[in-house]
Amino acid sequence: CNLQPKDAAKMPESAWKLFFYTLSWSYGIYLLFFTDYTFFHDPPSVFYGWQKGMEVPTDIAVAYLLQCSFYGHSIYATAYMDTWRKDSVVMLLHHVVTLTLIAFSYAFRAGAAGDTRLSWVKPPWVPRGPWAPLTPGCSLCPGRFWFRLYWFPLKVLYATSHSSLQVVPNIPFYFFFNALLFILTLMNIYWFLYIVQFVAKVLMGQMQEVNDVREYDVVDSKKT
């Protein structure tokens, strides 16, 4: 693909994340829209009939296993394999919080919390020209706002913070789960601001090619 050395070094990371998110997103679409689950259109339904020790359906358990394995690996990968960026510490915290939510929600059968991440991929086929850098920003900015800052609070946070108490008044670990979900919301805002910064730099002519604004100006080949 005639990649520059800097981009070639990041290609395995981007390719792996593209593969995994395509797989997990497709499976999530299947669960939400091609099964009898009504979690998307009626988020409080995840709490209907809730009881301690209830059985987890096999297809839901597969989703748990898939996500738990990925985020468990991601903690190690972010620290020791991926390119170190300005937000890498926040990314590590994100993985720990997400893994904790996944594991504890499975253990206590509180499977209302879902989380999707944005993968920053710089493909070699990005259009060229003075407005080319704006192409990924224009797609990432509204997409991230719609899914992370609109649907996530509207469907997930509303269900876990309000509907859960209406359906199960004494639901255990209420504050624990919601505190972690609100932490994820703050991280969503944090990463959305990076996208806004990227688009602003392009519009003001400060960026002539597609660069990840989270990366340092000089990236060391080794990190301590």
Crossing angle for the helix pair 88-107 and 174-203, nearest 10 degrees? 150
Q: In this structure, are residues 188 and 148 in contact, taking their beta carbons and an 8 Å threshold?
A: yes
Q: pTM of the predicted model, to two decimals?
A: 0.78
Residue with tokens 């108490």: 165
Give the chain's residues under pLDDT 70.
Answer: 110-140, 207-224
Burial class (CB in 10 A: 0-12, 13-18, 19+), 149: middle
Give pLDDT tens digits for 71-106: 999 999 999 888 788 888 999 999 999 999 988 888
Crossing angle for the helix pair 58-80 and 5-33, nearest 10 degrees? 160
**How many other C-beta atoms lie within 10 A of the C-beta of residue 113?**
20
Q: In this structure, are residues 220 and 89 in contact, taking their beta carbons and an 8 Å threshold?
A: no
pLDDT at 74: 92
pLDDT at 49: 86
